[in-house]
Structure 1
């Protein structure tokens, strides 16, 4: 019986394997194995091209190899990791040739770039489109966005994600026969705009709203007056929004078919949005199909609440409706040092939280975890933790280390250290978090402290354990503190798996040292709390003599996408002849 070989697999199976590989592996490795694989790679026509995390060197190589007509999905990004990528992409490839493109994502694109792209792309071939306008470009002058937005909503899109200011969304005239089924909008959408969307988009099934303002009563009453309850929406999400119960109820009256409702954002402590009894009555009467209700509400308070107060918010959620009929469980806690009340469903639905130890908060819950507290944190992806405060609490309260991870799926960790790096903190983190899943890390530390060398050593030890971290941010927890005199030590502990670095308040000489010594970086961003202490032309001119790069410049930051050394040109042939 002969054994199967990768070299003899049917083309269909090889193409199936491609679906589980990144573009670099396919083009730079798999393609070079043999002539047959070379041909398969060149003729494969289902490429999902994500360029948002590639190095500039890889970017040029991909653009040399890829056949635009074989791409069905494309992600381009101008964020700090790949500044200037979209313009460079437009200059290297003919957008008209992406004839089979079905999904397009544009991250932090400038308005003129969007206008240029939309002039040359067949938008009617797209089924999915995501556009995120760069924040610093929101109010820029230039060609109007209205024609572009009109063309977008008139297309046969199934899924649309728009992140732009509310006034631009106001310009959209939604067609009566709009085909959208999934819509995401961001950056301060008003409730009035939401009502207009529900009025026009009869095919809409999922609506996600970021930074929505649900507190304009007069506008709300006028907006609801002409809308019929003809929506077929099944999922509604408010992320990081300002919420009030009265206006929410008016809106939810228009969505009786909801199966999923998620609400995260800020509320006032006196608002009935925190009242479990009111929610129970409303859901039973107006949302009979609701199967999943998730929320995370934050409210500020000047009152020093006790456990009796916290239980009073939780008590209405202890009824048969919540615990038996729906199996929806709720937790409320009071964070003492920040004066914050948090009321949320379990598991936590907000992916970004600030971690507080049990000794820094008062908490009541309807959930019986039975040691499965990791399930409560199952959806958390980004965590902010004050390591100095946390380790001090552990010492004072004589807390022992955990015997299992609390955060199993965390990808983004931000740590604050004031003063000396806390003893035993890395061991503590390794028991609290599965560090192997981290891809992004932020460190806010005191570089003016006398024990700065010990701090740098501990950062190095932490980075060795977080071996999947690609993006690292380093800032000062003390005003005007910087890396003076320690930059070379810091350079020596940045591991090769870190490809993107964001660093605060460096002087010109230290920037040059960093760029000369840490050669494995794909991109770097220099951030300044105030205006740059030197002319950016100094560093741009210095770099221009040494390396190929693109950059993005503002008053307080400079982002650089690093390419080949100036005497090394991108290799478009990429390889010698493929072997048999």
Structure 2
């Protein structure tokens, strides 16, 4: 009776070997396993589940060596970790690989990344398979966006009350002179949101909403009334209601509006005043088309 030779590791099916390679690090796959035989070299070359992990201990030579040996389209997970003292690792990688070649990337983790590098990576990503993105960066002493003058906000109806605090941590709002509110028809802007916007953007000259025709707000001080009327544009009417404890607000407002030549009407009980504006829709659409929006989304946690 003839005995058939038992299969050895060298003759295992490619599918099974790929499962074994899942347990190895990329350097072992590309340099150790690949050097065993021509067959293993071909398997390593076509292995499509590479996981790249460069830390602050990786040298520039190591990064370049691995990047030359790997096929970018075979990378499914990428981790780049800069040192808190130096920003070299991410830029060494960017100088060795074109990000757009990572077409199968599913997971991307970036530690201590700088704004310029983040923009470079995000703009170059072409994969539609990315399902995990993790970012870690230290807040600089200066704002990430220190000279921003125009800001478009797409405010979610579940936005937390302190979202402006988060926004101001990386944007110097004092330089913003124009804000666009890109809210949906079904959403309602809370008074506190508008008030906080005006308080933190001390240099604002224009507050624009493309979807709000009638704006109603309750204010106590004449100063705030003037502020709202001079900084909100592209609405048809602004209705200001005053608090019971500030009975002089409306009469003072009437005097100010009359001097400015504004169109307005007052209710019978002097509890509110409505100011009318001429809304130039064509101008609004033209300006709006030239603005990018910063979308702020908050997801409620469910237990």
Q: TM-score, normalised by structure 2?
A: 0.46
Higher relative contact order at CA 8 Å, sep ≥6: structure 1 or structure 2? 2
Which is higher, the Rg of structure 1 or of structure 2? 2
Q: TM-score, normalised by structure 1?
A: 0.25
